[in-house]
Amino acid sequence: MKIVVIQGPNLNMLGVREQQIYGPMKLEQIHAQMKDVADQNKMEIEFFQSNLEGEIVDKVQECYGEADGIIINAAAYTHTSIAIRDAIAAVNLPTVEVHISNIHRREEFRKDNMIAPVCTSSVVGFGPFGYHLAMIGMLQIMNELQAAKAAQTQAAEANK
């Protein structure tokens, strides 16, 4: 099973920018913790970060046929990008949206979320721990999908 973690604009500045909102952890530390969870669960994990909307769209599209799920923090593009939203919808993969801060308690413009309606679930406001919760959620989603496929296979064989 392969999960692709896509990080949006300014997340490369974690640990430096607005620590009162985002905390002191650097993106590399978050990724190291996610890799530990992936290794423990025999999952392949790939990390990608870009400040450019088109590169994020390209990465989401590359996941089609190559990954089993996506964890995405589209950051500021969450509130503006129909292109990222459409890419997530197009690839039709289990997608967990993550936000370090609680976007619902912040500025009014952050309450508009273009991404959530096409994501499987969202983890919001748990700080960097939200990525760990997203990993646990993705594991659960993958287990449920595998169980459903096994049940379909079993039913098809029983009907032969």
Judge whether residue 19 has pLDDT over 90.
no
The pLDDT confidence band at residue 67, using thresholds 50, 70 and 90, is very high
Closest to 2 (Cα-Cα) out of 72, 67, 76, 61:
67
Q: Name the catalytic one among 31, 77, 99, 104.
A: 99
The pLDDT confidence band at residue 23, using thresholds 50, 70 and 90, is confident
The pLDDT confidence band at residue 20, using thresholds 50, 70 and 90, is confident
Element (H, E) at 2: strand 2-7
The reply to whether 22 belongs to the active site is: yes
The reply to whether 132 belongs to the active site is: no
Can you give the pLDDT at residue 112? 84
Judge whether residue 61 has pLDDT over 80.
yes
Q: Name the catalytic one among 22, 31, 79, 104.
A: 22
DSSP 86-134: HHHHHHT--EEEEESS-GGGS-GGGG--SSGGGSSEEEESSTTHHHHHH
Q: Could you identify the residue written with the tokens 């009162």? A: 20
Can you give the pLDDT at residue 126? 95
β-pair partners for 122: 97
Q: pLDDT digits over 141-154, tens only?
A: 999 998 988 888 88
Over the chain, what is the mean pLDDT? Answer: 93
Q: pLDDT digits over 113-134, tens only?
A: 999 999 999 999 999 999 999 9
Average pLDDT over residues 89-116: 88
Judge whether residue 159 has pLDDT over 90.
no
The domains found in the chain, sorted by start residue, are: 2-158 (3.40.50.9100)
